[in-house]
A and B are shown apart, each in its own frame.
Chain A
């Protein structure tokens, strides 16, 4: 369960408050969607949860299964079960995709006190997950995300999510830049991972994604706050009326 209470965040180097008294709870097994206009602070929220260091927490707390994670480094949060699928996954030249995947899986296993994966088991797991996401062997051989198309990068994010088996998954505009086929592949990948002890925070600007990943709850974010919450019908309402009503709500 993820609980965000009274969260106030500013950019570390600037006098610019981005999140302003944000409150949000995502229960185990729940798929929560956050919708909001560009610039409302959605990516900032995802970065702050994942532990990026460019921000200063002015007030509030973020609890993952009751534990305050704000003092933890990003890697410790990941080991605790958090995963962020980036809006813009980064290219890492010179780091082979397989090397990276193995490092990530083993690092988390070590943190949890488990043995490192046997090479054969590792390769089998990667190949199985890659098949389901239509990720080619050739992509796995390249440097991480280097030269990948936008859609390939997004599928690679879901591959990582599938392999790391997090408890709390945050997807930041995973639908942006995807054509309809890729959107289906990615959505199916996410839906396969839905489980009663795994929660999702699906951030999107458009309702389209929520046709494929059907949320339990929908929250509207504007000006760094959650300004309205409801069921999946709220997404349809937003689709019809746009964000006009919320632009000045906060």
Chain B
């Protein structure tokens, strides 16, 4: 018999329980109840949980911020725009406050409109029930947005999910994107917050791609440096579909970005990439689990992490190839540049391969800027910081160059340049 375990709650866990109980009765009470029970059974993950070894959330999340009130319209900041022609959904503190005129082939439904429909599409493509971050998101769901792209629709204007936080409060955003067979769309997701406010954000974006569908997803975390962000992207990918996601991170004191992908149709393509630029005492964790469950899948994963000062980077990447997922071609690389003497990086790439006819590989490098190259640039009169900047930009560029939307790619280069400028 096991000895009974006295589960002592941390202050944050106790506060989350109190906040959960205090919520107004709302949609989907049963769903939320169940999700909170799942969270409550295990509490905040800590370093003895393998997937959280390098990001001890129990220790790092000292308190739970109060739930964000519904935003008042006159406080609504202008949404942040990275490219010109985008159609922008604007979220303030996790709630949808503005939707754009929609391009042809795009529909949206919000939780308040048809709760059952939105609820039925949650957690569908990839099973997230074991993920504690998603459970918390579901438990505190205030709003959710379902975006549907009609089969065959070629949406040329990017759709943007612009998330803003306004204060030191907790917000929970949820978006489901269903992409019909043969449809294609670019989706930009941005996160920004009020300066100086220790917001806590938890967002989940779930993609489900039909046969032959194509999605380019770019996520930008430019949150205020006091923010804590937990974020999850899930994608289920059908036959011949192509899903690419790139996360670009400069913001937040603590960030954990989780990417769960499942390839369940043959001949699918997956591109999972990231650029993380952190400094000061920032902690940025990128955790990827990608599962190949069909023939002939191609996966490219490339993560570039640039760590200055005493910041800490974490990359965990796991490729799972199921027994019948033959001919899977999967590559994963995590490359890190440590700029600061006290900067650190924990990289843990893993392969779990159960099929015999596959080409999979991974590599992780951690290094400093090459002194020889630096000298070459400086010998032409380029100052040290600028020379370092050229090399850092080139390093990040290896991942950024895969962004197909040209203006968006340029915007990310611009954000990288802005980060570099703050170093100077």
Contacts and interface: CB of A to CB of B under 8 A. Distances in A.
A220 interface: no
Contacts of A131: none
Interface string B380-397: 111110110011011101
A66 interface: no
B59 interface: no
Contact of A75 (B371, B382, B391, B393): B382
B381 A99 contact: no
A83 B381 CA distance: 9
Interface stretch (A18-26, A103-111, A195-203, A232-240): A103-111
Contacts, number: 78
Contacts of A94: 391, 393-395, 397-398
Contacts of B12: none
A95 interface: yes
B378 interface: yes
Nearest to A79: B381
Interface stretch (A50-58, A116-124, A206-214): A50-58
A103 B373 CA distance: 15
Contacts of A160: 380
A164 interface: yes
Nearest to B395: A94
Interface string B22-58: 0000000000000000000000000000000000000
Contacts of B72: none
Nearest to A96: B394
A125 interface: no
Contact of B379 (A78, A103, A143): A78
A100 B397 CA distance: 15
A84 interface: yes
Interface string B356-373: 000000000000000111
Contacts of B373: 90, 92
Nearest to B383: A75
B391 A95 contact: yes
B395 A52 contact: no
A100 B390 contact: yes
Interface residues of B, number: 22
Contact of A74 (B378, B391, B393): B378
Given A90-B372, A94-B393, A84 B381 contact: no
Contacts of B376: 86, 89-90, 92
Q: Among B373, B376, B395, B397, which residue has the most Cβ atoms of chain A within 10 A?
A: B376
Nearest to A85: B379
A75 B390 contact: no
A3 to B, nearest CB: 20
B375 interface: yes
A143 B393 CA distance: 13
A248 B376 CA distance: 33
B377 interface: yes
A75 B384 contact: yes
A53 B370 CA distance: 13
Contacts of A143: 394
B120 to A, nearest CB: 46
A107 B381 contact: yes
B386 A74 contact: no
A93 interface: yes
B383 to A, nearest CB: 5
Given A92-B377, A95-B390, A104 B395 contact: no
Interface of B: 371-373, 375-384, 386-387, 390-391, 393-395, 397-398
25 contacts: A50-B379, A53-B371, A53-B375, A74-B378, A74-B379, A75-B378, A75-B380, A75-B381, A75-B383, A78-B380, A78-B381, A89-B376, A90-B372, A90-B376, A92-B377, A92-B391, A95-B394, A103-B380, A103-B390, A104-B382, A107-B382, A107-B386, A111-B381, A160-B380, A164-B380
Given A83-B379, A107-B382, 18 more contacts: A51-B378, A52-B375, A73-B378, A75-B384, A78-B379, A89-B376, A90-B373, A92-B391, A93-B394, A95-B391, A99-B390, A100-B377, A100-B390, A103-B386, A103-B390, A104-B381, A111-B381, A164-B381
